Chain A
Amino acid sequence: MKKAASIKVFLCLLLFTALWACTPDDPTEGDFDVTNLYGKWCQEGTKIYYKYNDDGTGATWDESDDVYEDEAQAFTWEVDGSEMIHIHLTETGTAQIPKYYIITFLSFDELDYYDAYVTTKKYKFYKVN
């Protein structure tokens, strides 16, 4: 009985040590030329569009869902280091729906980022006219 308890405590200590050592690094550091973001982007392999204006506003639509640019939904955006925050605005009430992304690559015509919340979800966009 005592032996079993000792094994249990040992395993806990071992796990604690292992987990402590695996605390992830902070990925928010980064430096991108935000002016490259201005314009209309299309997600690779889709008809999903994002449009970033230089005043921090934006719009998104998905033509595969029978929604077009003039029917796009508005959001505001900000880039801080490698963080990109989209705040989607609702027409009903005052609620704001945030989406939090980490930019990994931004050039004049390519944008790569992943979901800060589910890091395995990655997105690639190309600028379109």
Chain B
Amino acid sequence: MKKALKITGIALASLVGLVLLIILIACWLIFTPARLTSIVDKVADKFITCDTHIGRVNLTLFKTFPQLGLDVNDVVLINPTEGAKTDTVAALGHLTLAVDAKAFLRDRSIIVRGLDIADGTAYLYTSETGVSNLDIFPKSDKEKKESSFDLSSLDVDIDHITVSRLSATLDNRKAGLNTGVDGFDLKLKGTLKEGNIDAALDAALRSAILKIAGEKPIGGTLSQLGLKADIKYASQQSGNADITLTAGPTAFTQGDMNALLDKLTVKVAGDLSGTKSWHGAVELAATTPALTLGGEKPMAVDADELQVKFLSSFDGTNYSLIPASVALTSSNLTMDKDKLLDKAQVALRADVAADTTFSRITIGGGVISLNQFDINLNGTVLRPDSTTLDADIALNTNRWNLKEVLAVVPKAYRKKLSNIRINDGALQLDAKANAGLKDGKLAISTANAGVTFDRLNGRLNDSISVVAPKLTASVAIPAKKTTSQFKEFAGGTLNASSLAVNIKDNLQSSILNLKSTFSLSDFTDKKTPFSAKAKLVMDNLAATLDTIDAKMAKPVVEAMMITPKGKNPKPHYEATVTTSSLDGRLGRLLAANTGALTIKAAATRDATKKAVLDQWNPKVNASLSTAHADYAQLPVPVDIPSLRFDFTPGKFTIDDSRIKLGKSDFSLRGDITNLDAWLAKDGLLKGNLTFSSDYTDVSQIMDLVSGLGAKDSTATADANKPQAAFADDEVKEDNPFMVPLGVDVFFRTDVKTANWNGFDFHNVGGKITCRDGVLVMEELGFTSKAATMQLTAMYKSPRKNHLFAGVDFHLINIEIDDLIRMIPKVDSIVPMLKSFDGQAQFHFAGESYLKSNYDFKLSTLRGAAAIEGKDLVVLPSSTFDTIKKYLMTDKSTENRIDSLDVELSVFKDEVDLYPFRVRLGQYEAIVAGRHNINRDFDFNYHLSVTDAPVPVRLGLDVSGTLDDMHFKLAPCRYNNLYKPERRNGIQERTLQLKTLINESLKRNVKPVEYYD
């Protein structure tokens, strides 16, 4: 049985094979290449209007088995067109068409199953007038070609389409397009049936060029292009695709833009589900991509490698890119010759999602990296309508090393930052913002930003250094705290555990535990004037400037600026500085400290005013307590128990001031006014002040302030010079006290007790005026145990080497020895006065211009004195004994004179002692003469005995110096002085002048009762 079946099978197969062989032989005989070529030519003529050349057409079965194949060689289409480079439209070396044999045999339909094209060229030309060499189809076909295309109506089932070594050129001069491909290879396999696609594509291109003319010509070259794709798509809208694109060196230009890369790989994979959702993945890798842009600000960017990756999906309602990343390796960016990036690693990564209308976009896990610097970004962007954009963004950085930050700053900008040197430090930024953009206007709803610097150690301009272990700053919108002074928009803080700021060779400062807050008005609103407020609280503030050291404990600084609305707004400023204590030191010269110190200041600026004070209208209130100062040139410290003053543009008021200097204590109160007019040079600065004191040690204060500010060398020289005050030496340009010009200040003194040279003066009251370069102490009255006194003094400083000092001094009922002790200079002017003991009145007026070192200009010295005494005792002395001996007075003569009435004048260096009469017991004498204020005090006196128990009237000339006196008997010169009928004209005049001196000196003396 088996054998029968086997034989039967072999027989049937042989029969079928024979039939097929006969068919093939029949076909070979019927469809010879010549016949087929002729048929195809005829068919081609029917469909193609241009000249066609077909080399040879073969029918093949083996090549395309099981399909029937038509093998065509050397197909050439020729369509001469004016302007075209060649008449040949296309030339195909080899074309094989596989047709479904069954379908052809069954229903005569031609169904193409395969197409192989090899070694072909094409030249598609369109002239500038629109004439194309591709117009080779009959018009009816052309119309069909231009009819609408419906994919669903197209059924394609292709076993394969292959193209090998195809070159083509498209030269469309009307469109300005010139492109060509060379070495195009293609393998395509797939089906398209009722809208369902199942295709596999493998294409390659050796090279391609593209040129498009226009305002910005486009050009491009592409080589080694490869494309592989597997696409499956069902009409139920589900499918998947897997596409890989590779390219070799590629270049693209458009106008002044150039882009190129060496190698490109693009992979796209996606799935489409039946529920209108899809997901996919895209990977792009480009080697050495580069892009340059020309123009006024040229830009160039390149990298070793560009990688773009993202996974995308659509779930029917939302699009997402999770994650999406872009990375550039070793990238460079140059803008306008400035290299902004240099071999930088740049990367962007984010999870991005959006709804179908892109009205809501969310970004999560976003990271922007530049080398080691990361910026993390998260947020949501809403676009409710085309004109509105709302964003809610959170941003923070990793820890950025400031040295490394400066290192990546582009060179162009680094030059601008060349004055900044960072030794150490890092910063970290954290920010959140919710803002909207409506019709182009930015509106910030909320924003919080914080930056932290740690181990900050930098230097600015190589001179200013800043060191802060940790410094944090934050800004919040809206401000967390509100104020009534202005509508606050933003607030913030600035805190530092310690902060040191040093200026080389100048200032060193440090702040301990700084906590500050500030708030700002809406600086984004141009219609809202800018206002700001700040408060700084410190545990400690220390500063050193040259030899100046200052330390403040618990200082608090509050400052505010408010700008009202209006056409010409006047900004208002306020500031308050308080500290619980202040320590200051000025080298070895001064050390001072205070207790609580408060300074309040306010100012309103009116730019329309010219004068500074008018412009600012400042108001200052300051107070301090328990201040203490040690001044090197003062042997005693200065204590200020309290000081309080107010300042306004028109008025400076010292509300309270108490000062203790050595044994003295005093206070100053009063007003200084007319400041604005003084500054405008329209008037004098006026002051009305009261100087009151319980106890003032004038001697000590004068000792304390004497020589203040004088140079050591000058002081030494003066100290070594005998009688320097009267020496007519060369002018020394010192730094004398210059009375301020343009001021009119009035002091009222109220000193309960003042001590001078051991004398207590009580109820020292009077006026001191400083008026436009003139300082006057006017009728200063006081009493003491020794005397009642009145003093008027004046000091002027018209120029540095021409100073003026004048006094009008009256001592009423003073003991002569006290007078000499009180005013030692009196002994120089009236040397014989020390010979008397008892009470006297002393009236003195004198004035002189002074050199800059306060030496007298002797040519200007003027003075007069009157001394009156009663019941004076002549003290025993060798001089007095010598006089008595020469005048042969009785040794038993009582050394007591009833009265003394001395007048003298000082003119330049001459002191004229006008004749005065003294009576000692039975003797009466008149003394007169002159002495000179010079180094030796040489003198020339005459003593006339006018009454004596003996009939002889002797005179005695006493001359020489105090160290070398000469006594000589002489005629009695003043015998008739007090005998009006016998005295001569000179004596008459002399007495008149003596009276003139006396009366003029006493003219303004107040009665003694005045001082009680």
Chain A: residues with CB nearer than 8 A to chain B? 12-13, 15-16, 19, 22-29, 48, 61-62, 64-67, 71, 73, 81, 83, 85, 87-88, 90-100, 102, 116-118
Contacts and interface: CB of A to CB of B under 8 A. Distances in A.
Interface stretch (B428-436, B918-926, B946-954): B946-954
Contact of A92 (B794, B849, B952): B794
B133 to A, nearest CB: 113
25 contacts: A12-B952, A16-B951, A19-B953, A62-B859, A65-B857, A65-B858, A67-B802, A67-B860, A83-B989, A90-B806, A90-B846, A90-B864, A92-B792, A92-B793, A92-B806, A93-B792, A93-B807, A93-B808, A93-B1001, A95-B864, A95-B1001, A97-B906, A116-B989, A116-B990, A118-B930
B162 interface: no
B951 A28 contact: no
A12, A13, A29 pick with most chain B CB within 10 angstroms = A12
Contacts of B847: 90-92
Contacts of B849: 65, 67, 71
Nearest to B731: A66
A124 to B, nearest CB: 17
Contact of B808 (A22, A24, A64, A90): A90
A95 B808 CA distance: 8
Given A92-B808, A95-B1001, A116-B989, A87 B996 contact: yes
Given A73-B860, A98-B996, A98-B997, A19 B984 contact: no
B912 A117 contact: yes
B989 A118 contact: no
Nearest to A80: B989
A26 B864 contact: no
5 shortest interchain CB distances as A-B pairs = A93-B808, A95-B845, A92-B806, A28-B985, A62-B859
A96 B996 contact: yes
Contacts of A13: 951-952
A71 B951 contact: no
A48 B859 CA distance: 9
Interface residues of B, number: 54
Contacts of B1003: 94
A98 to B, nearest CB: 4
B1004 A93 contact: yes
B863 interface: yes
A73 B984 CA distance: 32
Given A85-B993, A100-B989, 4 more contacts: A26-B985, A92-B807, A96-B997, A116-B990
Interface in B793-833: 793-794, 798, 801-802, 804, 806-808
Contacts, number: 137
B179 to A, nearest CB: 102
Contacts of B951: 12-13, 16
Nearest to B983: A26
B859 A91 contact: no
Contacts of B250: none
A73 B1001 CA distance: 19
B952 A66 contact: no
Contacts of A66: 731, 801-802, 851, 857
B905 interface: yes
B990 to A, nearest CB: 7
A16 B846 CA distance: 41
B80 interface: no
A12 B993 CA distance: 34
Given A73-B860, A90-B808, A118-B930, A95 B985 contact: no
A16 B849 CA distance: 48
Contacts of B972: 19
A67 to B, nearest CB: 6
A15 B986 contact: no
A100 B993 contact: yes
A107 B28 CA distance: 169
Contacts of B950: 12
A100 B914 CA distance: 12
A65 B990 CA distance: 30
Contacts of A92: 792-794, 806-808, 845, 847
Interface in B701-724: none
B862 A73 contact: yes
A62 B860 contact: yes
A94 B1000 contact: yes
A92 to B, nearest CB: 3
Nearest to A66: B801
B856 to A, nearest CB: 9
Nearest to A70: B798
Contacts of B802: 66-67, 71
